[in-house]
Amino acid sequence: MLAALLPFLLFRRAIALVASDFRFDLGYLVTGWTAYALIVLGLLFSVPVVLSIGRKPGSRLYPQSRQAYAGWSAVLYVLGVLLASQVAQIAEGPADA
């Protein structure tokens, strides 16, 4: 739950700034929302891994490619958070000197 809530708590101002200028433009959708889509995809890839905790590898509910799901989950989540931090810096605008 912490992994799901933390990025959106940290970047709520950037999300609000990006959402305030919402439009159906491909460039806007790609640059503005890619980071948050990567975070959500990373969380979705973690669902089978979390559900298989405590199950034996021979179990019917144990995913055959559990390590691949865990890897994709971690990579997409970290890339999303890194990109979201850059989006947040850009959304804040230039620093006052």
Domain ranges of the chain: 2-92
**pTM, two decimal places:** 0.78
Largest CA distance in the chain: 61
Higher-pLDDT residue of 10 and 29 is: 10
Query: For all residues of the chain together, what is the average pLDDT?
Result: 83
Distance of CA 23 to the CA centre of its chain: 21
> What pLDDT does residue 96 have?
56
| Alpha helix ranges (H) inside 52-97 | 66-92
User: Rounded distance, CA 78 to CA 88, Å?
Assistant: 15
| Per-position b or e across 79-90, b if 16+ CB within 10 A of its CB | bbbebbeebbee
Give the CB-side neighbour count of residue 28, counting CA atoms within 13 A: 9
For 56-87, write each residue's pLDDT tens digit: 888 887 888 888 999 999 999 999 999 988 88
